[in-house]
Amino acid sequence: MMKKTILLSVLALVLSFSQVSANAEFEAAWKAADEKRMEAAAVGYEWRDTKKFLKQAKEAAEQGDLDKAMKLVAKAHEQSEDAITQQAREVHLWSSRVIR
Amino acid sequence: MKKHVAALMVLFAAASWSMLFAGPEDDRMAFEKYFTSKFPETPKHDFINGIYSIDPPSREQWLEIEEFPPYELSIDAGRSAWEKPFANGKGYADCFGDGAVRGQYPYWDSGRKEIITMELAINECREANGEEPLKYGKGKLADISAYMSFMSRGQKINVIIPEDDPDALAAYERGKQFYYSKRGQLNFACIDCHGSGSGNLVRADRLSPALGHVSHWPVYRSKWGNMGTLHRRFGGCNRQVRAASFKPQSPQYRELELFLTYMSNGLEYNGPGARK
Amino acid sequence: MLKRIAVVVLLGPLLMLAPTAGLVANADEAMVALGKEVAFDRRKGNCLSCHMMDNGSLPGNQGPALVAMKARFPDREVLRAQIYNPLEKNPHSIMPPFGLHGIISEKEVDAIVDYLLTL
């Protein structure tokens, strides 16, 4: 009886730890993605849907769907990286498009 | 020999200088020529009518719409607001005379080191008289703007970039860079659709030429079901290529307005307008 | 006896192949169908807004008609690259970089290529 209780509580503890660490992992990834978004915005290149994905990620996490939340964060992060690359590319390209 | 080399070098430097730093007026002449050559059927003064200047079928429909213009209610609302005194007893007329001032905007204010658009000036007039600023983009501000634009019909577009102020030229250049840069997930520049793409079909819609794009604001747009300012349209065009839009009257959109309006110098203001 | 074994040995692989070949054909068809769906979907490929293709209604005219693809694109990778990132060939292209910018997934890019090669 005693043994069983201990076993169960240890199990519960381990589970909640992994829950906590998964949540912490999500929070960190979300923060990094939001910082990337601001980096893209700072050079004037934020994409339209990035903020929406970050919002949806938060909502998914609140509902306990960390898998979906992490996927959305990854998508947002990638968008901002692509936007920053796009800006770097365009700095060199735009002037050859000017009507002369 | 040495002399020749030196002369050549000076010549080369001068040539590359002028190639690198074509001034706004060179830009404008090339811009205008590009569109007048691309659409030789369209008289230059007609480009202020946007897509209807190059697409006869839709022009027919538009002319019918113009018989009972959907922007008339907005002009009326703007007139009422114009005539209603502020709480301090003053009114818009104390800032803008009879309101026929469209042709003075946008301009570079060398003292403030920024671009002043007509919408910005309307809110500054309100705030100077103790009134709350209006929301940019649509609604009451668009009504006042519609009334003032209506009073100003026929005035010439005449943006001046003061040559003695490098900051003015820099602001113009930023607007130009914005216009020619691809952005958004779909990777489009304004010029992709309204320059090389103008006249082309996107599904059932034809793309309008950029020349004259700034002449007829605010616009009653059927798709909006109400009036919107030029900056509202900028926002829509940014978002449709999946780029985040900027706020109306943000520095970015004011610079874009400065550049784009300069490109139409010499054409007439004919706002407010009606568009699909 | 020996004969029987020979028959089994010979036929065995064939019998095993038959159902897989069927599967492959189905998978191909599924990919082609997916490709067509993605190509026509306005929120995904929206290829029709610029290309005439496959009798789609109200095509735009900004890009060339997508016809005889197999003959014009003997190298599948060249075609895939045009869909994945047209900027590689022409940095000023107005065709969106569907793969590079994650507008559609890798699988959807492959599906569109499968579909295009049937045109």
pLDDT band, residue C10 (cuts 50/70/90): very low
B185 CB neighbours in chain C (<8 A) are: 96, 101-103
- Write down the pTM of the prediction: 0.91
CA distance B22 to A60: 52
Give percent of chain A above pLDDT 70: 91
A96 CB neighbours in chain C (<8 A) are: 92
Contact B242 A98 (CB under 8 A): no
Cα three-residue angle B172-B212-B119, rounded to 5 degrees: 60
Q: Give the three-class secondary structure for B202.
A: strand
Question: How much is the pLDDT for B205?
Answer: 81
- Please say if the pLDDT value at position C45 is more than 70: yes
Domain co-membership, B87 together with B220 = no
Strands (E), chain B: 107-109, 114-116, 201-202, 205-206, 219-221, 226-228, 273-275
pLDDT band, residue B6 (cuts 50/70/90): low
- Please say if the pLDDT value at position B231 is more than 80: yes
Q: How far apart are the first and last CA of chain B?
A: 66
ipTM: 0.89
C89 CB neighbours in chain B (<8 A) are: none
Contact B200 C87 (CB under 8 A): no
How deeply is B223 buried, as exposed, middle or buried, from its count of CB atoms within 10 A (0-12, 13-18, 19+)?
exposed
Between A26-35, B202-211, C18-27, the lowest mean confidence (pLDDT) is in C18-27
Within 13 Å of residue B209, how many CA atoms lie on the same side as its CB? 25
Question: How much is the pLDDT for B5?
Answer: 55
Give the gyration radius of chain A's Cα atoms. 21
pLDDT band, residue A19 (cuts 50/70/90): confident
- Smallest CA–CA distance, residue C102 to chain A, in Å, is 8
C48 CB neighbours in chain B (<8 A) are: 203
Give residues 192 to 231 of B whose Cβ lies within 8 Å of A. Answer: 195
User: Maximum Cα–Cα distance for chain C, whole Å?
Assistant: 71
- Please say if the pLDDT value at position C5 is more than 70: no
CA distance B243 to C101: 12
CA distance B42 to B51: 11
Question: What residue ranges do the domains of chain A occupy?
Answer: 23-97
CATH of the domain at B136: 1.10.760.10
Nearest chain B residue to A86, by CA = B183
| One-character DSSP codes across chain A | -HHHHHHHHHHHHHHHHHHHHHHHHHHHHHHHHHHHHHHHHHTT--BTTHHHHHHHHHHHHHTT-HHHHHHHHHHHHHHHHHHHHHHHHHHHHGGGGS--
How deeply is C16 buried, as exposed, middle or buried, from its count of CB atoms within 10 A (0-12, 13-18, 19+)?
exposed
H-type alpha helices, B68-165 = 72-83, 93-96, 118-128, 140-151
- Smallest CA–CA distance, residue C104 to chain B, in Å, is 11
CA distance B250 to B271: 22
Number of helices and strands in chain B (H, E): 11, 7
Instruction: State the average pLDDT over residues A44-73.
Output: 97
Contact A92/B at CB under 8 A? no
pLDDT band, residue B2 (cuts 50/70/90): low
Nearest chain B residue to A37, by CA = B244
Domain co-membership, B146 together with B160 = no
Tell me, rounded to whole angstroms, the distance of Cα B218 from its chain centroid: 10
Residue-wise burial string across B52-77, b where 16 or more C-beta atoms lie within 10 A, e elsewhere: bbbbeebbeebeebeeeebbeebbeb
Interface partners of chain B (CB pairs < 8 Å, 3 or more) are A, C
CA distance C37 to C93: 24
How deeply is B147 buried, as exposed, middle or buried, from its count of CB atoms within 10 A (0-12, 13-18, 19+)?
buried
Domain co-membership, B256 together with B119 = no
Question: How much is the pLDDT for C24?
Answer: 61
Between B97-101, B173-177, C9-13, C100-104, the lowest mean confidence (pLDDT) is in C9-13
Which of the pair, C8 or A73, is modelled with greater confidence? Answer: A73
Residue B220 and residue B226 in contact, taking contact as beta carbons nearer than 8 Å:
yes
Domain co-membership, B30 together with B119 = no
Domain co-membership, B91 together with B226 = no
Domain co-membership, B32 together with B108 = no
pLDDT band, residue C14 (cuts 50/70/90): very low
Domain co-membership, B190 together with B211 = yes
User: End of a domain among B108, B123, B151?
Assistant: B151
Least Cα distance to B155 among B272, B9, B268 occurs for B268
User: End of a domain among B151, B181, B208?
Assistant: B151
Give percent of chain A above pLDDT 90: 77
Verify cis geometry, omega within 30 degrees of 0, for the bond prior to B106: yes
User: End of a domain among B96, B128, B151?
Assistant: B151
Contact A43/B at CB under 8 A? no
Q: Give the three-class secondary structure for B188.
A: strand
Domain co-membership, B171 together with B145 = no
Q: What is the mean pLDDT of chain B?
A: 93
Distances (CA, A) of B179 to B71, B141, B199, B226, C101: 28, 26, 18, 26, 21
Question: How much is the pLDDT for B120?
Answer: 98
B200 CB neighbours in chain C (<8 A) are: 60-62
Give percent of chain B above pLDDT 70: 92
Tell me, rounded to whole angstroms, the distance of Cα B109 from its chain centroid: 17
Residue A80 and residue C104 in contact, taking contact as beta carbons nearer than 8 Å:
no
* Structural domains of chain C, with CATH: 29-116 (1.10.760.10)
Any residues with CB less than 8 A from the CB of C108 and at least 6 apart, and which? C34, C35, C38, C44, C45
| Residue in C87, C91, C102 closest to A79 by CB | C102
Give me the domain span that covers residue B134: 72-151
- Please say if the pLDDT value at position A20 is more than 90: no
Question: How much is the pLDDT for C16?
Answer: 47
pLDDT band, residue B1 (cuts 50/70/90): low
Domain co-membership, B179 together with B240 = yes
Residue B229 and residue B248 in contact, taking contact as beta carbons nearer than 8 Å:
yes
Nearest chain A residue to B35, by CA = A99
Contact A97 B191 (CB under 8 A): yes
Contact B185 A94 (CB under 8 A): no
* Residue position matching structure tokens 């042709």: B103
Which positions of B are annotated as active-site residues? 237
Give residues 5 to 34 of B whose Cβ lies within 8 Å of A. Answer: 22, 26-27, 30-31, 34
Q: Give the three-class secondary structure for B140.
A: helix
Least Cα distance to B264 among B98, B47, B78, B88 occurs for B47
User: pLDDT tens, B64-88?
Assistant: 999 999 999 999 999 999 999 999 9
Contact C102 A75 (CB under 8 A): yes
Domain co-membership, B84 together with B209 = no
Domain co-membership, B167 together with B260 = yes
Number of structural domains found in chain B? 2
- Please say if the pLDDT value at position C13 is more than 60: no
Domain co-membership, B169 together with B138 = no
Contact A44/B at CB under 8 A? yes
